[in-house]
Amino acid sequence: MHFRIQATGQHLWTWVLLDETEMTVAESDRSFPSRTQASAAALAFAKLVARASRSLNGGASSGLL
């Protein structure tokens, strides 16, 4: 899977998560004023999903008490 940052045509940007066949798996529900902000939001989403996956799979704790 990989992210693609796309221009909306209105000077705004969104992210889309695509699978190996280029089918949309998830997409941002908002637009961002810059490509950099859209990329940062995609990275934050990826980290959130990875953390949830570790939690569901009984992975190591995040160190929070």
Which pLDDT score is estimated for 62?
54
Q: 13 has which bridge partners? A: 7, 32
Q: Write out pLDDT tens, residues 1-43.
A: 899 999 998 899 999 999 999 999 999 999 999 999 999 999 9
Confidence of residue 56 (pLDDT cuts 50, 70, 90): confident
Instruction: List the domains of the chain with CATH numbers.
Output: 2-56 (3.30.160)
Order of all β-strands in the sheet with 24-27 = 2-7, 13-18, 24-27
Which pLDDT score is estimated for 29?
94
CA torsion 17→24→48→1, rounded to 10°?
-60
Phi and psi, residue 48, nearest 5°: -65, -45
Q: Write out pLDDT tens, residues 32-52.
A: 999 999 999 999 999 998 898
Phi and psi, residue 63, nearest 5°: 90, 0
